[in-house]
Structure 1
Amino acid sequence: MAANEYLPFRSEIRDVIKHTELEYTFRLTYEGQVKPGQFFEVSIPKYGEAPISVSGIGDGTVDLTIRRVGKVTNEIFEHYVGDKLFMRGPYGNGFDIDNYKGKELVVIAGGTGLSPVKGVVDYFCSHMEETIGMTLVAGFKTPKDILFIEEFGHWQKNLDVILTVDCAQDDTACQIGLVTQYIPELKLKNVAKAVAIVVGPPMMMKFAAQGLLQRGFHEENIWISHERKMCCGIGKCGHCKIDDTYVCLEGPVFNYVKGAQLLD
Structure 2
Amino acid sequence: MLTNEYLPFLSEIKKVIKHTDIEYTFRLTYEGDVKPGQFFEVSIPKYGEAPISVSGIGEGTVDLTIRRVGKVTNEIFERYVGDKLFMRGPYGNGFDINNYKGKELVIIAGGTGLSPVKGVVDYFSNHSEETKGMTLIAGFKTPQDILFLEDFGRWQQMLEVILTVDCAEGDTACQIGLVTQYIPELKLKNVAEAVAIVVGPPMMMKFTTQGLLDRGFREENIWISHERKMCCGIGKCGHCKIDDTYVCLDGPVFNYIKGRQLLD
Smaller-chain TM-score bracket: over 0.9
Task: Give the aligned partner of residue 159 of structure 1.
Answer: 159
Give, in angstroms, the shift of residue 169 of structure 1.
2.6
Report whether the alignment pairs 1:173 with 2:197: no
1:126 aligns to what?
Answer: 126
The residue number in structure 1 matching 2:41 is: 41
1:4 offset after TM fit, Å? 1.9
Deviations, residues 184-232 of structure 1 (Å, cap 9, x unaligned): 1111111000000000000000100000000000000000000000011
- TM-score, structure 1 normalization: 0.99
1:15/1:27 contact within 8 Å kept: yes
1:254 partnered with 2:254: yes
Matches of 2:189 and 2:170 in 1, distance apart?
A: 35
Q: What amino acid does structure 2 have at the position aligned with 1:66?
A: I
Point out 4+ residue stretches in structure 1 off by more than 3 angstroms: none
SS at match of 1:129: helix
- Count of aligned pairs: 264
Matches within 5 A, 1:177-216: 177-216=177-216
Q: Separation in 1 of the partners of 2:54 and 2:71?
A: 20
Instruction: Give the letter for the 1:183 counterpart.
Output: I
Cα distance in structure 1, aligned partners of 2:37 and 2:94: 4
Secondary structure, in 3 states, of the residue corresponding to 2:87? strand
Distance 2:170 2:149 in 1: 16
Distance 1:160 1:238 in 2: 40
Query: Could you tell me whether the CA contact under 8 Å between 1:226 and 1:253 is conserved in 2?
Result: yes
2:8 is the alignment partner of 1:8: yes
Query: What is the distance in 1 between the residues matched to 2:69 and 2:179?
Result: 24
DSSP-derived class of the 2:4 partner? coil
The equivalent of 2:101 in structure 1 is 101
Q: CA deviation at 1:164?
A: 0.1
The answer on 1:71 being equivalent to 2:71 is yes
Residues of 2 paired with 1:118 and 1:2: CA distance? 35
| TM-score (norm: length of structure 2) | 0.99
Structure 2 Cα separation of the partners of residues 249 and 53 of structure 1: 14
2:201 & 2:241 partners in 1: Cα distance? 17
1:107-118 alignment to 2 at 5 Å? 107-118=107-118
Q: Secondary structure of the residue that 1:184 maps to in structure 2?
A: coil
| Root-mean-square deviation over aligned CA pairs | 0.5
d(CA) in 2 for partners of 1:250, 1:231: 13
* Alignment-mate amino acid for residue 10 of structure 1: L
C-alpha distance in structure 2 between counterparts of 1:12 and 1:40, whole Å: 14
SS at match of 1:193: coil
CA distance in 2, matches of 1:208, 1:230: 22
